[in-house]
Structure 1
Amino acid sequence: MTVPFEKPIAIAILAMGGQGGGVLADWIVSMAEAQGWAAQSTSVPGVAQRTGATIYYVELLRPSADGKMPVLSLMPTPGDVDIVLAAEFMEAGRSMMRGLVTPDRTTLIASTHRSYAVGEKEMPGDGTSDPQMVADASGIAARRSIVFDMQRLAEKNGSVISSAMFGALAGAAVLPFGRAAFEDAIRAGGKGVEASLRAFAAAFERAEQGAADPVQRKPTPVEAAVPEKSDHPKLDALLIRLRMAVPLGVQPITFAGLKKVVDWQDPSYGEEYLDRLAALHKLDVEAGGANRDYAFTEAAAKYLANAMTYDDVIRVADLKTRATRFDRVRKEIGAKAEQVVYTTEYMHPRMEEVAGTLPARMGRWLTANRPLYNRLDRFFSKGRHVKTGTLFWFAGLYVVSALKPMRRGMLRHEMETAHVARWLDTATGVLPTNYDLATAVLGARRLIKGYSDTHSRGLTKFDKVMSAVPLLSMRADGGQWLGRLVQAALADEAGSTLDAALQTIHSFADSAPA
């Protein structure tokens, strides 16, 4: 008599390094084997630096009546997967694009949290993918979807996301095993059992409830309320000045800018920030800003703070030697108290950064002495692997960060201050006649960020965008067009989109009547 063929249960797990995808696959296999099933797991590694997740593939088959061992597949086949577990939301989207999720058979279990890919991070502007598209597609592509923030749930229970995903898998009731079998598999693992069981139980209940967490492309911004006082007299004085400098509606963003400026340098630098902002607000009032909710002042509060806190080698060294950074790294990798963690930074300084750290007069002399400058450039402009956990490199970076009190006398600060002055002059120059364009000029400052080559590319694009301001000053929609130029500048690293947009602007000027 012919024994009818029975298909195995096919499970695909998409997880990144550190998320416990291998542990999750092992739990499923050990659970199935403990119940007398045949089980097999394989994996296809992803690429480092968050360009792809590892795919763990598991097949389960109930024991045959004749006792023969089955031959199981090593790879998932599109259209033939019963369960997809995605440890990151965009990986759920990729599983649908690969055809692993199908409406006739696949249960999709995915965490809604995001871990941004290199392709998203490398974009000059906002390169993040839209999670709502994945959420909408999952309702069509999958037979059933269970989606909630498993990362946050796992962290809340002191565990990793694999425990929460295992709990969601159990709560989904798509495998022929009871809850006790899942929990026994966790106990058999022998590591972090109590925390894993807590996360498992919480996720099990969420999966049973079936309610999905909402997704959004960007987190909802939280405006910090301006405190009544601080624990330092100089900071208290700044808070009093802040309330006098700008209207109530602009105070939260101004407070955020003030904190950034003071952290970057000192309270005196915060006074300089408020002085400039108060002067800009006065011009805003004269230009009728009250009828526009002081949009010019609000943009100035944000982008002036960013402009005054440029990234230089002192700032980089300061951030990399802070105790809070070492604590954050340990927390992110889940290091235990008794474990030693070393971080290795890749730094590629240029001669411009070296010259910018010198006193302004000396830096100008060195920059003008091209033969000496080029010889030194060959020595400094090399990629270096800096181990900030060692005494030598930590001490070196700490000494550089200690140069902060001398920063205002350095060449880089002189150059940045002059550039900020020209930028503000451009904005205030068009403010009386074109309010929207002046506000857009302030917003264009977002193009300048980072340090080294990143800063240079942003500065080049910014200067190109500013070159269009005279051509737009007499247009009622000048602010909108400048905003389009900024978006074009952020569209690609090479700047080809910006060049095309600038040609359009110049065509307006060329066709304008004399």
Structure 2
Amino acid sequence: MNIMLQPPAIDLTRPLSIAVLAMGGQGGGVLVDWIVALAESQNWIAQSTSVPGVAQRTGATIYYLEMIPARADAAYPVLSLMPVPGEVDVVVGAELMEAGRAIQRGLVTPDKTTLIASSHRSFAIQEKLVPGDGISDSSKVYEAAEAAAKRFIAFDMAVLADSTGSAISAVLFGALAGSGALPFGSEAYEATIRAAGIGIEPSLRAFAAGFERTQADAASATPPAPPKPASAGKLYSTLASVGDAAFDALVADARTTFPASLHGMIAAGLRKVVDFQDVGYGREYLDLVAGFMRLERGSDPALTRAAAKHVAVAMAYDDVIRVADLKTRASRFERVRSEVLAKPDQLVYTTEFMHPRMEEVLGTLPAGLGLWLEGKPGLCKALDRVVNRGRRVQTGTIRWFLPLYVLGGLKRFRRGTLRHKREVTHRDAWLDLARNTAAKDYELAVAILEARRLVKGYSDTHARGASKFDRVIAVAPRLAGRADGAQWLRRLCKAALSDEEGKALDGALATVETFL
């Protein structure tokens, strides 16, 4: 007797697939749990997996979900554990560049993928390591997303999360609901948040904000546009009084001295130097910048604008006193607590890595004493072995907070320190060169002021930047009078910023030497 075996019936129903890319602290796990709970509450079967990234900004965690309606015969589906390029229905990026990475991985396709991303940036380690401006161009991600995704939804969800007192995961959940990518009503989403039982009211506010913004953007039919970077003019569009008589007197003087087009930059610079030292230091800043107003030639005060920006940076240099002051400010402790989403009854300790060199110690001493010690190389070498060691300290403990707090309070004596004396000498020589050059080569004088961007940071970073700056500025007088002098000086600055070791600068300087 022949027995005919029937092939098993295979259900070819395709599950919905969702990939979520999020960094630590952004609530990616919470978002995924919500989506799974949402699907199950609607009689769907859902499965989620995750692949952790490496330590915050060197890699995000990738969560992957698949969901499918439950069958009447209670048969359980076989769902995938990882996304397949070209087969993902929804991609959610908790930060803009995570959306870009999803596109690179092939997870976003124009025939099926809805791409949802927050437009804010949390800069990657590689962006921060570049000596110059290493920030990636957000507009490139927008262009790629418009081409790669079936639908692209992007806006600053971090701002909405902050304004509603919640986490970005709740705004992303609202954007997902507003997109209509999943076949569930908004009431089911809200019920999922309530059922979780944690942070219900703030999460519902953030959810509603994300939902409403997504639907409003869809109604406008305008494609998402990358946000414009903030500028000093936008941060401080006017020279505003603050209620302090001495500071307000500086503001009033600046309003009459400088044209309105410079008020934003002057306001930013004035606040920076006064915060660094005191109101008297702010008066010195305004006097230095005003000196360049007398050298202007046309309607565009480019020389004074460059001075307003870079003189403030030069005056508010990073020294031991400044670092100690910033690390012990109440506003910093509050910022750290908000970043880690600490509750009021939770203790948060910040561990700092501090590695002072003997040069920093000498710079903090009175100028005479510092010079005397510098003249004793044997003694300096012995002391360097004591201080020049990496230390991990907790600024939230009495043992370390008090010494740093006292050190930060020494800024009242800063003008008498060896470091300040040298900074002023270096600064004045640079400004004298710019002023003397302006009379015969205005554009080169502007480039000389802009070159100060090479000097930044603290300790070894500052030393490397100052060395490159000195090498670039040394060439400036020989470029005066050339039609391309300013252009070449800016090329030298760009070369100096392209690598830490200075190899590109060596090559650029060698090129300049061939025609000088």
TM-score per shorter chain, which class? over 0.9
Q: Which residue of 2 aligns with 1:504?
A: 511
TM-score (norm 1): 0.93
Per-residue CA deviations over 1:385-412 (Å, capped at 9, x if unaligned) read 1211111111010110111111111110
Aligned residue type for 1:421 = D
AA in 2 matched with 1:216: P
> 1:26 — aligned with what?
33
Match for 1:448 among 447, 455, 460? 455
**Residue 78 (1) aligns with residue 85 (2):** yes
1:230-276 CA deviation, whole Å, 9 max, x = no partner? 53333243234434544444344223222222221112222222333
Q: Distance in 1 between matches of 2:241 and 2:30?
A: 50
2:318 corresponds to which letter in structure 1? D
- Does the CA contact (< 8 Å) of 2:239 and 2:264 recur in 1? no
Where does residue 91 of structure 1 map in the other structure?
98
Match of 1:432 among 418, 435, 439: 439
Query: 1:302-334 CA distances to partner (integer Å, 9 max, x unpaired)?
Result: 211211111101011111111121122222222
* CA deviation after TM superposition for structure 1 residue 459, in Å: 0.7
Q: Is 1:467 aligned to 2:474, yes or no?
A: yes
| Post-superposition offset of 1:173 | 1.7
The answer to whether the 8 A contact 2:23-2:56 is kept is no
TM alignment of 1:14-413, pairs within 5 A:
14-209=21-216, 210=218, 211=220, 212-216=223-227, 218-221=229-232, 222=234, 224-227=236-239, 229-243=241-255, 245-282=257-294, 284=295, 289-291=296-298, 293-413=300-420
SS at match of 1:303: helix
**Residue identity in the other structure for 2:52:** P
Deviation, 1:51, is 1.4
Q: Conserved in 2, the CA contact under 8 Å of 1:448 and 1:462?
A: yes
- Shift of residue 130 of structure 1? 1.1
Asked if the contact 2:142/2:224 (under 8 Å) is kept, the reply is no
- Which of 4, 11, 15 aligns to 1:4? It is 11
CA distance in 2, matches of 1:230, 1:70: 65
- Equivalent residue for 2:3? none
- Cα gap change, 1:255/1:29 in structure 2, threshold over 3 Å: closer, same or farther? closer
Cα pair distance change 1:157/1:453, threshold 3 Å: same
Taking a change above 3 Å as real, the CA distance of residues 336 and 228 of structure 1, as seen in their structure-2 partners, is closer
Q: How has the CA–CA distance of structure 1 residues 192 and 232 changed in structure 2, closer, same or farther, with 3 Å as cutoff?
A: closer
- Take 1:49 and 1:471, find their aligned partners in 2: how far apart are those partners? 47
1:425-462: CA deviation from partner (whole Å, max 9, x where unpaired):
22122221111101110110011111111101111111
Return the alpha-carbon distance in structure 1 between the equivalents of residues 10 and 287 of structure 2. 86
| Structure 1 contact 49–118 (Cα < 8 Å) conserved | no
Rounded to whole Å, the distance in 2 between the matches of 1:219 and 1:270 is 24
User: CA contact under 8 A between 1:471 and 1:505: conserved in structure 2?
Assistant: no
Change (3 A) 1:266 1:28: same
Tell me the CA shift for residue 77 of structure 1. Answer: 1.5
1:255 is aligned with what amino acid? A
1:92 offset after TM fit, Å? 0.5
CA distances 1:31-56 after superposition (whole Å, capped 9, x unpaired): 22222222111111111141111101
1:96 is paired with a residue whose SS is: helix
Q: Distance in 2 between matches of 1:489 and 1:319?
A: 28
Distance 2:248 2:170 in 1: 47
Contact 1:245 1:277 in 2 (8 A): no
Closer/same/farther in 2, CA of residues 225 and 167 from structure 1, 3 Å limit: closer
SS in 2 for 1:40: strand
Question: 2:84 and 2:46 mapped to 1: Cα distance?
Answer: 17
Change (3 A) 1:229 1:396: same
CA contact (8 A) 2:152 2:224 kept: no
The CA distance in 2 between the partners of 1:213 and 1:143, in whole Å, is 13
- Shift in Å, 1:421: 1.7
Q: Secondary structure, in 3 states, of the residue corresponding to 2:85?
A: coil
Match of 1:512 in 2: none
Q: 1:232 to 1:218 in 2, by over 3 A?
A: closer
CA distance in 2, matches of 1:83, 1:226: 44
Contact 1:132–1:217 under 8 Å retained in 2: no
Change (3 A) 1:197 1:231: closer
Could you report, residue by residue, the CA deviation over 1:47-78 in whole angstroms, capped at 9, with x for unpaired residues?
Answer: 11411111011111222354222222221121
Question: Amino acid of the residue matched to residue 186 of structure 1?
Answer: I
CA 1:385 to 1:228, structure 2 compared with 1: closer, same or farther past 3 Å?
A: closer
Q: Over the residues paired in the alignment, what is the CA RMSD in angstroms?
A: 1.9
* Number of equivalent positions: 504
Structure 2 Cα separation of the partners of residues 294 and 30 of structure 1 = 60
Q: 1:154 to 1:251 in 2, by over 3 A?
A: closer
Determine if contact 1:121/1:127 at 8 Å carries over to the other structure: yes
User: What is the identity, as a one-letter code, of the residue corresponding to 2:149?
Assistant: A
Pair 1:80–1:310, CA change in 2 (3 A): same
Letter in 1 for 2:170: S
Retained in 1: the 8 A contact 2:18–2:88?
yes
Please identify, of 237-246 and 39-48, the stretch whose mean Cα deviation from structure 2 is larger. 237-246
Aligned-partner residue type, residue 274 of structure 1: L
